[in-house]
Amino acid sequence: MMRHRSPVALAALLLVLLALAALRPAAAAAQVVVLRVDPAAEPLCAAFEAALSDFGVVPDPGHFAEAQRRGLDPSGDEALGTLTPLLRVQLAVVPQSATRRAAVVEFRDGRSGASLGTASIGLSNRDLSAAGRKRLRSAVARRLGLEQPGGGPPPPAAEPEAEPGAPPADAGAEPAASEARALQMRVFAGAGMGTRALEWPMAGERIAVDTGAFAAVDLGASLAFAVSDSVSLGPEFNYQTSLDHEITELHIAGAPESMGVRSHRFEALIVPAFHFGQDSGWQIAPALGYGVRNLRPDVHHLLTPSSSIGGPLLRLVLRIPFGKRLGLRLGPEAQWVLVGDELQELGIESSGLGFGADVRFEIAITDTLGVELTYREAHAMLPSSQGDDATDVERYATARLSGEL
């Protein structure tokens, strides 16, 4: 005998079928995963997931840990090519590197793990900008072959490959952010020790003034305008000075004389910087400008002269990275030295040559704050009318706190 279903049972069955039908698209929409290749990038990865939420984002199941377990570089081709297909998604989004201005994102095919290219996603002070969000969604939609969620025409078919730090193509939508990306300002302040020694010939003997070690302050600032993705140009200013220091003069007749003395130096440079590799940290920066240094005693009528030398300065700086957080800068320099009137009165010629070097070890604490350990030594060889050359030697060893604004 045929049974007849009640209207209530039929309605319940219909609701179940509708619920299953509603769930199937949701499951099918789970097609994108944002992979973590660096735990420090978690806030940026979370921002990417939020921007792509309506594409059907699934959580990263632990790509970084699994790659390390297998002895692979989490950001390398082998790890991404091997592990991505296991996730059963259509597309993997992989933030590979980031600066304050932009993040370089690689896309991987979910079925094969093959690379689908990269894109530069605009950031504003390391946060995903509105223009960057738009570009990210456009890049993901195109690689999925979809219109962007919410309707609208498909995104353009072509997109240039990205370089680290390159501004996104649609950066013009945010004028203020574009200006921030085009200019970087760096300031530093530090303290340490220094010495200054001056010698010159007189009446067949050599007269020497040696300050001994003194406490020193180290200050500076620089601006860098982005000329291109790999070249920046801007001014740099450096100042170092002694603090509350005294020296003692010994006289043939009379008691030793103590007096305050100040040694300081200043330089203003124009620095073009050439960056090499994908955010590798390698850099060459030739600098041209003017440098001057002075030695000023409080009492001017005794043996220690007031001295001033300065002139055009050329320095060539090479930065060698040691990972993402450490770097070494080596900066040999040469200078044409012009001699002040006080030293010329002692028989020293009006010009000479100088040479020296700056060495700086950099430690990045955060993306915008760092510590620098520096050493500088510079020598000046000054011809004299009395035959032997006069010499001027300065040394500074300081620790600095530096920051990017």
Q: Which tens digit of pLDDT belongs to each residue from 37-92?
A: 988 889 999 999 999 988 889 999 999 999 999 999 999 999 999 999 999 899 99
pLDDT over threshold 80, residue 99: no
pLDDT over threshold 70, residue 6: no
Dist. CA 327–CA 331, nearest whole Å: 13
Give the mean model confidence (pLDDT) for residues 244-252: 70
pTM: 0.60
pLDDT for the residue 228: 79
Signed CA dihedral, 85, 86, 89, 95: sign only: negative
pLDDT, tens digit, 9 for 90 and up, residues 254-297:
566 677 889 999 999 999 999 886 556 899 999 999 999 999 88
pLDDT for the residue 147: 56
181-404 classified as CATH 3.40.50.1970: no
pLDDT, tens digit, 9 for 90 and up, residues 184-221:
899 999 999 999 999 989 877 888 888 899 999 999 99
Question: Is residue 253 very low, low, confident or very high in pLDDT (cuts 50, 70, 90)?
Answer: low
Dist. CA 359–CA 78, nearest whole Å: 38
**Pick the residue with more confidence: 227 or 10?**
227
Question: Is residue 160 very low, low, confident or very high in pLDDT (cuts 50, 70, 90)?
Answer: very low
pLDDT, tens digit, 9 for 90 and up, residues 9-21:
545 554 544 454 4
pLDDT for the residue 181: 47
Burial pattern 84-95, b for ≥16 Cβ within 10 A else e, equals: bbebebbbbbbb
Q: Which fold has domain 24-173?
A: Rossmann fold (3.40.50)
pLDDT for the residue 12: 55
**In whole numbers, what is the pLDDT of the chain averaged over residues?**
82
What DSSP element (H or E) covers 158? none
265 forms beta bridges with: 240, 293
pLDDT for the residue 7: 55
Are the C-beta atoms of 260 and 241 separated by less than 8 Å? no
Question: Is residue 174 very low, low, confident or very high in pLDDT (cuts 50, 70, 90)?
Answer: very low
Count of CA atoms in the C-beta half-sphere (13 A) of 4: 2
**Six-digit token pair at 369?**
């704050």
pLDDT, tens digit, 9 for 90 and up, residues 298-308:
765 556 788 89
pLDDT over threshold 60, residue 3: no
Dist. CA 280–CA 40, nearest whole Å: 17
Give the mean model confidence (pLDDT) for residues 377-390: 91
Angstrom CA distances, 202 to 4, 81, 145, 206, 211, stand at: 126, 76, 85, 6, 20
pLDDT over threshold 80, residue 150: no
Dist. CA 68–CA 78, nearest whole Å: 12
186 forms beta bridges with: 222, 404
User: Could you tell me where in the chain the CATH 2.40.128.90 domains are found?
Assistant: 181-404
pLDDT for the residue 351: 93
User: Could you tell me where in the chain the CATH 3.40.50 domains are found?
Assistant: 24-173
Count of CA atoms in the C-beta half-sphere (13 A) of 393: 13
The DSSP secondary-structure symbol of 340 reads P
Question: Is residue 152 very low, low, confident or very high in pLDDT (cuts 50, 70, 90)?
Answer: very low
pLDDT over threshold 90, residue 26: no
